[in-house]
């Protein structure tokens, strides 16, 4: 099996490639080739016995997508894109990375037109939903995003669904909650503080909290997110049905409840490193996001996430801090 991963140098892309390399298979099919692409060179997953092709390129550039699909990968994980606040602050950049790159990829697949029909797993976002919200958001809630990022993701969902309906590909879009705790340096995601208020204190560093502790959101760990992607690749079209966008499960909690989970795992000293610093832009963006989801359909399809935020904190320690909190 040949697997293509776009956005393979990003956090989720790297962790997915590491998992694919470690497993060496998707379901019952051995992976013989991994094609990893991003605008910077992706790392090679350790221990993978098959061939690895790394492509450093912008998916929206002419000819890049055609080159990537020329070897007809059976599975495409499309993760490439820019994050929420970056897409909101730089409209041109957001549409190029999130919409133009996706359309280039789907067009390249469509143009092959020789019966090849790859599985395409797309990372969408719960930002596709827009206010006013009911207490709990279901999969069939209307798409009226209140950010450019959410708009771009919603447009890509529609393109993916249309290409899937026409038989050019077999698509599934995963509406991800906030992925938390993200390792590494902070990114430009408006949701980045959800991770920073856990990651930075655990590393002995102070961090800023730009919103009130009453802010409510749904979270899943990077480990669970990679699990979502791999599980989605194994879903048949018959099982998924015509509604190919699915809202993923997660842990719904307030920022204050996140902080208390950190306190239970790492103590008062870690919590003391969180400093309040309201940011009107982040507050406005986050206020336009839904908070709690009915992920019954996803669970019925076999998707699994954590059940407590304490689990999410401990997973970050296990996966990214070598199993221990630094002194």
Whether residue 79 is found in the same domain as residue 137:
yes
- Indicate which CATH number applies to the domain containing 34: 3.40.50.720
Do 141 and 269 sit in the same domain of this protein?
no
Instruction: For residue 258, count CB atoms less than 10 angstroms from its CB and return exposed for 0-12, middle for 13-18, buried for 19 or more.
Output: buried
The two structure tokens encoding residue 221:
């760990």
Q: In whole angstroms, what is the distance from residue 199 CA to residue 182 CA?
A: 7
At 138 the pLDDT is 85
Measured on CA atoms in the order 315, 209, 144, 59, is the torsion positive or negative?
Answer: negative
pLDDT at 41 (0 to 100)? 96
Residue 270's pLDDT is what?
96
Say yes or no: 212 and 228 in one domain.
Answer: no
CATH of the domain at 260: 3.90.25.10
**CA–CA separation, 76 and 245 (whole Å):** 16
Task: Provide the residue range defining the domain that includes 306.
Answer: 192-217+251-320
Q: Sheet harboring 33-38: ordered strands across?
A: 51-56, 33-38, 2-6, 75-78, 119-125, 170-176, 245-247
Question: 172 lies in a domain?
Answer: yes
Predicted local distance difference test score (pLDDT) of residue 285: 82
Asked if 228 and 291 sit in the same domain, the reply is: no
121 and 263 both lie in a single domain: no
Q: For position 290, what pLDDT does the model report?
A: 80
CA atoms of 304 and 51, how far apart (whole Å): 30
- Say if residue 113 is in the same domain as residue 197: no
Ramachandran region, residue 267 (left: φ > 0; alpha: ψ -120 to 50; beta: rest):
left
Rg, the chain, Cα only: 19
Give the count of domains, the chain: 2
pTM, full prediction: 0.94
In the residue annotation, 149 being an active-site residue is answered as yes
C-alpha span between 325 and 23 (Å, rounded) = 28
Given 122, 149, 194, 293, the catalytic residue = 149
* 239 and 155, same domain (yes or no): yes
pLDDT at 88: 85
The verdict on 242 and 262 lying in the same domain is no
pLDDT of residue 191: 84
- Which residues of the chain register pLDDT less than 70? none
Residues 229 and 293 in one domain: no
Whole-angstrom Cα distance, residue 53 to residue 42?
10
- Each residue's pLDDT tens digit, 200-255: 999 999 999 999 999 999 999 999 999 999 999 999 999 999 999 999 999 999 99
């Amino acid at each position: 099996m040949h697997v293509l991963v776009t956005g393979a140098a990003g956090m989720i892309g790297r962790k997915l490639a590491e998992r694919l390399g470690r497993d060496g298979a998707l379901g019952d099919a051995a992976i013989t080739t991994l094609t990893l692409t991003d605008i910077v060179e992706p790392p090679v997953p350790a221990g993978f016995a098959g061939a690895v092709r790394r492509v450093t390129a912008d998916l929206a550039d002419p000819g890049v997508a055609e080159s990537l699909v020329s070897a007809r990968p059976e599975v495409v994980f499309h993760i490439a894109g820019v994050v929420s606040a970056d897409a909101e602050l730089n409209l041109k950049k957001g549409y190029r990375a999130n919409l133009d790159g996706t359309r280039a990829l789907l067009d390249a697949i469509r143009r092959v037109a020789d019966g090849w029909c790859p599985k395409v797993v797309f990372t969408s976002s719960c930002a596709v939903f827009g206010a006013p919200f009911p207490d709990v958001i279901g999969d069939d809630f209307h798409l009226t995003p209140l950010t450019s990022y959410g708009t771009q993701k919603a447009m890509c969902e529609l393109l993916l669904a249309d290409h899937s309906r026409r038989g050019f590909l077999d698509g599934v879009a995963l509406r991800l909650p906030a992925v938390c705790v993200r390792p590494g340096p902070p990114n430009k995601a408006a949701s980045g503080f959800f991770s920073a208020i856990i990651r930075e204190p655990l590393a002995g560093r102070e961090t800023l909290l730009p919103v009130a502790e009453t802010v409510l959101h749904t979270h899943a760990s990077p480990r669970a997110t990679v699990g979502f992607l791999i599980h989605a690749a194994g879903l048949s079209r018959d099982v998924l049905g015509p509604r190919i966008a699915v809202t993923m499960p997660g842990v719904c909690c307030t920022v204050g409840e996140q902080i208390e989970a950190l306190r239970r795992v790492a103590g008062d000293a870690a919590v003391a490193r969180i400093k309040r610093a309201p940011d009107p832009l982040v507050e406005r963006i986050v206020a336009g996001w839904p908070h709690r989801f009915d992920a019954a359909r996803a669970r019925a399809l076999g998707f699994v996430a954590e059940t407590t935020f304490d689990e999410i904190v401990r997973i970050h320690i296990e996966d990214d801090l070598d199993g221990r909190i630094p002194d």
